[in-house]
Every structure is written in C-alpha cells, then in structure tokens.
Amino acid sequence: MISPESKRQSYSLRQKIGLFSGIPIFLLILILPRPAELSPEGHKTLAVAVLMASWWITEAIPIPATALIPLACFPALGIMKYNDVAPTYGNNVIFLFLGGFFLAVTMQRWNLHKRLALYVVRLIGTSPERLVLGFMIATAFLSMMISNTSTTLLMFPIALAVILHLSELKDDGQKVLPEDQQPRFRTALMLGIAYAASVGGIGTIIGTPPNLIFAGAVTSLYPGAPEIEFFQWMQFGIPLVLIFLPIIWFLLTRVIFPVSLKTWKGGKEYIGHQLEQLGHMSTGERAIVVLFMITAAALIFRRNINLGFVVIPGWAEALALTEWVSDTTVIIFASLCMFLFPVNLKKGEFLLDWKSAVKIP
C-alpha cells in the first residue's frame, strides 16, 4: 500500500506532460503569426495565459508559484511595465522580500549555507582570532542574501559545535583553550556573528527588511525619484561592510575579549571532518550556486555601469527593457526557476517546493 506521503512525493505523468509541454506551447504561440485583430501585447498575453493554464491544470509546479508568472513575464515581454504589474498583486517591495526569502529557504533546504560557512572558516584559519574572523565573514556574506535573524540562527549551531569541540580539546593532557580563556572566546564568537549579520545586511538591498522598507518609502514619498537599484545599493553598502567588519573583529578579539591561544591544533582536521560529513555537493547545491551567480549578475548588470573610463552595457539597455523591468522582475524570475528545476523528477523533487516556500518569515 502506498502511503499518503509517497503519493505526495511522486510526480505523475500528467504533471510531467504539463511541465515539458508548457514552455514549448508558450514559445510556439509567440512565434506563430499574430491575428490581425489582436494587438502585439494581446498576442503575448495569450501566450502567457496558455502557459499558466497548462501549469495550473496539470499542477506541474505549485499553483501559487504559477500565479507569479505575470510578475516576471509581463515586463520581460513588454506587455506591462513592472510598476503597473506589481500593484495588482501588492507593493513592489513585497516581492523583493519574497524572492530573497525564497533564495534563503532554498539554500537552507539543500544545506548550502553550512557548506559555505565551513569553507570560509577553513580558508581564513583556525586560531581563535581567525575563527572569529572566519565566522564573521561567512555570516556577513550570507546576511547579504538572507535576513539577519535567519543568518544568525543558521550560524549558531555551527559556532556552538566549534565552541564545544575547542573547549574539550586536549594536548598532552592539558586543555588547548584554558578555562579562563573559554568565556572570552565564546563571547567574542557569538557577538561577532550577531554584529556581522547586522553589518552584512547593509551590503545589499535584499540583505535585511529595513533596506527594502527604506527603498519602498523613498518611492512612496518621492514618486519622481529614480529607483534605488541593486547595484547602486551595493556601491554604498559593500564599502560599509568592508570598513565595519574588521573594526568590530579587532575590538572583539584584541581589545574587549582577547584570547592568548594562537593556534588550534586539530582545527583544520575538525572543519575538514565536518565538510566530509556533508559529502559531495548535491545536485540541489550545485544548482542553487549556479542560479545565485546568474541572478546576482543579472541584478548587477541590469543597467549600464559607468566606470569612468569604460561603460559596461546592461542587458536591459541592450534589449530596450530599461523602463519595463526592475530588480523585482529578476528576483521573481529566479524564484520561478527554483520551482521549475527538477532535482529528482521521478519523486517530484524540485529545487524549491511549496512545502519549503511557506516556511518563509
């Protein structure tokens, strides 16, 4: 007898047909000659409607995810501008939140956050001071994509495991980290993670909700003001991260909570063991890394970047979509890709499913 859980995990023939036929039909409608009485926008809208209907009927991807298609397709196809599409759903900023949370949940689902953190810690070093720095850098990096609170919660169990291991580690019968040094190290590490999450959140516009609230407030209070773009925010935020992170690390490890231990024997082996337990990168991990890199590039290079001596052309400018698409368009498109990428099609396992998606804050 097949359990209800097994039924939910299987991916039916109907769903497979819907998944693999939806996009070809969508493209076919776009390619076919347009009826004379139908406007170009109406022709494109018909293609989007057929795509959505096929996925809704077959439930190829979660029904709520299919409902997000117009947010990505209407601006990209030149049907409606992003600032005309988004208000039919809600505030434009909400969907930047949503896309950022989807990315965070997907990283957590495939355990990529832990692998990234351990790699950074191993790269920086395993003396107490370097451990604090490694955790702070890993936390700040993750916090640029995930909310500060979520990042702190993700890093806490990893840091706690390191603290417990280091406090019990012995060399020639003596504790590697003396009892009187342990509270300093624990406090410096935990505070370092907390502060790094706050600092890292400044780095990108999706790094922490207050950034998006500020961007939304600017748009509401000053309708004529230019949109605050992802790359523009990074030009302001990243330098602040690079300034404040080393200052906080120096104060925590050298001034307020100095630790005399200079090396942690077996530290690299411990971090290596943790990475070994994770095994090789799964298909899901590799997919989210590639998707994140493409999304980041699409956000950064959406508009022309003037470096003074050279102008890097933006893809939106090249496609004449500058006034049509926004960062929200890119984020929602990336979110749809997460729902569409099959990790194990037989089981109906995708990069992101709705069961995981509903866990967003």
Domain boundary among 281, 298, 323: 281
| Domain co-membership, 200 together with 62 | no
Compute the Cα dihedral for 233, 236, 242, 246 and give only its sign.
negative
Domain-located, residue 106: no
Q: Using CB atoms within 10 Å of the CB of residue 165, give its burial: 0 to 12 exposed, 13 to 18 middle, 19+ buried.
A: middle
Confidence of residue 8 (pLDDT cuts 50, 70, 90): very low
Look at residue 79 and tell me whether its pLDDT is greater than 60.
yes
Paired strand residues for 350: 342
Cα–Cα distance for residue pair 251/262, rounded to 1 Å: 17
Average pLDDT over residues 132-154: 81
- 293 shares its domain with 272: no
* Residue 356 · residue 62 · CB < 8 Å: no
pLDDT exceeds cutoff 70 at 306:
no
Per-residue pLDDT for 177 more than 60?
Answer: yes
pLDDT over threshold 70, residue 37: yes
Give dist(CA 207, CA 196) in Å, integer: 12
Spatial separation of the C-alpha atoms in residues 127 and 121, rounded to whole Å: 10
Separation between Cα atoms, residue 114 and residue 158, nearest integer Å: 8
Average pLDDT in the chain: 83
Q: Are residues 180 and 39 part of one domain?
A: no
| Whether residue 220 sits in one domain with residue 161 | yes
Supply 307's token pair: 């470096």
Please tell me whether residues 257 and 306 are part of one structural domain.
no
Residues 230 and 299 in one domain: no
Q: Which domain holds residue 290?
A: 4-101+286-357
Whether the predicted pLDDT of 170 surpasses 60: no
- What is the tens place of the pLDDT at every residue in 266-297? 667 777 887 888 888 899 999 998 998 888 78
Residue-level pLDDT at 4: 38
Written as six digits, the tokens of 299 are: 């956000």
Phi, psi of 306 (to 5 degrees): -95, 110
Question: Do 171 and 298 share a structural domain?
Answer: no
**Shared domain check, 248 and 128:** yes
Whether 199 and 125 map to the same domain: the answer is yes
The tokens for 50 are 């057929």
Give tens-digit pLDDT for 200-233: 999 988 787 788 788 878 878 887 777 787 788 8
Report pTM.
0.69
pLDDT at 166: 67
Whether the per-residue pLDDT at 331 is higher than 90: the answer is no
What is the model's pLDDT at position 361?
64
Kindly state whether residues 259 and 197 are assigned to the same domain: yes
What lies within 8 Å, CB to CB, of 169 at 6+ separation is 175, 176, 177, 264, 265, 266
> In this predicted structure, what is the pLDDT of residue 92?
75
Whether 340 has a pLDDT exceeding 60, the answer reads yes
156 and 15 housed in the same domain: no
Amino acid at site 66: T
Structure tokens that stand for 274 in this block: 């943790």
